[in-house]
């Protein structure tokens, strides 16, 4: 399993450490902003050395810093770049991040024509849609971490309430990895028992989940641990061809009246990326929320460059 990470900032570094710590890769290439240069070492060079030493505690992994040519033949390329100040709201950096993606995606895909592209860069769903367009790859091979992180944030809250391990809670945050996201409570269950959607507490949980990223930013200035774990879990599902169901941002083709935009739906993940999405049953209010998510992402895409 060869993974390249592009953008060695807070998220890229945390993802690299997670992949090494969990022993999920055989080869890891860290692509920072500058090509590595022994005279003027970049942050990515130092990070690669540090991680290489960390592999001695886990299992051997070839770790290096590099550029596009070192990334060639990657199975997965994780895109964690940002051209914007990370304290700003998710949509603020859309133009800067779109510009970076237009520059980096074509050469990366040319060097790794069979790779799966996994986006963490915000605004996540707009950037995933844009990457799909730029890369011209089959839709299953371009995905974003989407609402997996939001789903886990919700499951932690539900777990505390039910006294049941988050793993046994089946409740999905769907739609946009952003403020228009919603919980598909109508299909939520814990240990097989339905979770009654009509309690004020559950709506409070939904709101807390939506605000969690903003709250972490307010205290620590950025978020990285949760998204790194989310990306690592997706990479593991690809590497092991696990067919795990994970909510990821993927091209929607006619679900709830939405098409041609990337949003999160529960998806079966395997060696080829998104193998299929599940047509989860939504009540009318949830379907309407899903359409509002699509509109929010379209507005971001329409405003690029304006
Ligand atoms: P950061 O500023 O710490 O790191 C971004 C890195 O990208 C920087 O090191 C920068 O040098 C690098 N970069 C910029 N252009 C590049 C290029 N052309 N080639 C290689 N590297 C390049 O930001 P961060 O906190 O790591 O966040 C990264 C992105 O992830 C942001 O868009 C952020 O909003 C997003 N994010 C997403 C989630 C999620 O759940 N999807 C969670 C947290 C952060």
How does pLDDT run across 187-235, given as a tens digit for each residue?
A: 999 999 998 776 888 999 999 999 999 999 999 999 999 999 999 999 9
pLDDT tens track for 75-92: 999 999 999 765 566 667
User: Would residue 177 show up in a list of annotated catalytic residues for this protein?
Assistant: yes
Q: What's the confidence (pLDDT) of residue 88?
A: 63
> How many Å apart are CA 174 and CA 279, to the nearest integer?
12
Spacing, Cα 203 to ligand 1 middle (Å): 31
Q: What's the confidence (pLDDT) of residue 76?
A: 98
Q: Which of 4, 6, 7 to mutate to test the pocket of ligand 1 (most atoms within 8 A of CB)?
A: 7
**Segments in the chain below pLDDT 50:** none
Nearest CA, atom 25, ligand 1: 10
Spacing, Cα 10 to ligand 1 middle (Å): 7
Q: What's the confidence (pLDDT) of residue 161?
A: 87
Q: Which of 82, 107, 126 to mutate to test the pocket of ligand 1 (most atoms within 8 A of CB)?
A: 82
Catalytic residue among 177, 203, 219, 243: 177
Q: What's the confidence (pLDDT) of residue 90?
A: 64
Q: What's the confidence (pLDDT) of residue 42?
A: 83
> How many Å apart are CA 201 and CA 256, to the nearest integer?
27
Q: Nearest-5° angle of CA 258, CA 114, CA 246? A: 45
Any bridge partners for residue 274, and if so which?
A: 269
- CB of 227 within 6 A of ligand 1: the answer is yes
- CB of 105 within 6 A of ligand 1: the answer is no
DSSP reduced 3-state for 37:
coil
- CB of 190 within 6 A of ligand 1: the answer is no
DSSP tally for the chain: helices H, then strands E:
8, 14
Q: Which residues contact 81 (CB under 8 A, 6 or more apart)?
A: 6, 7, 9, 12, 97, 100, 101, 104, 121
């Amino acid at each position: 399993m060869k993974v390249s990470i592009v953008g060695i900032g807070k998220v890229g570094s945390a993802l690299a450490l997670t992949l090494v710590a969990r022993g999920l890769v055989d080869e890891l290439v860290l692509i920072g902003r500058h090509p590595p240069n022994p005279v003027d070492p970049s942050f990515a060079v130092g990070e690669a050395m540090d991680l290489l030493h960390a592999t001695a505690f886990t299992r051997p992994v070839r770790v290096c810093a590099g550029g596009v040519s070192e990334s060639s033949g990657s199975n997965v390329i994780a895109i964690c770049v940002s051209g914007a100040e990370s304290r700003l709201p998710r949509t603020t950096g859309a133009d800067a991040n779109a510009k970076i993606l237009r520059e980096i995606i074509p050469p990366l895909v040319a060097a790794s024509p069979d790779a799966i592209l996994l986006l963490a860069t915000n605004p996540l769903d707009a950037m995933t849609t844009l990457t799909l367009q730029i890369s011209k790859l089959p839709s299953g091979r371009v995905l974003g971490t989407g609402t997996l992180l939001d789903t886990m944030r919700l499951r932690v809250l539900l777990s505390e309430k039910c006294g049941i391990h988050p793993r046994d809670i089946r409740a999905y945050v769907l739609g946009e990895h952003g403020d228009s996201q919603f919980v598909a409570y109508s299909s939520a269950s814990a240990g097989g028992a339905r979770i009654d959607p009509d309690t004020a507490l559950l709506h409070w949980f939904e709101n807390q989940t939506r605000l969690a990223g903003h709250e972490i930013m307010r205290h620590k200035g950025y978020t990285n641990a949760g998204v790194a774990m989310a990306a690592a879990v997706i990479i593991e599902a690809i590497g092991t061809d696990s067919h795990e169901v994970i909510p990821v941002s993927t091209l929607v083709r006619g679900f709830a009246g939405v098409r041609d935009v990337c949003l999160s739906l529960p998806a079966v993940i395997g060696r080829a990326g998104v193998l299929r999405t599940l047509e989860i049953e939504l009540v009318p209010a949830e379907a309407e929320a899903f359409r509002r998510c699509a509109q929010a992402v379209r507005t971001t895409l329409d405003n690029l460059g304006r």
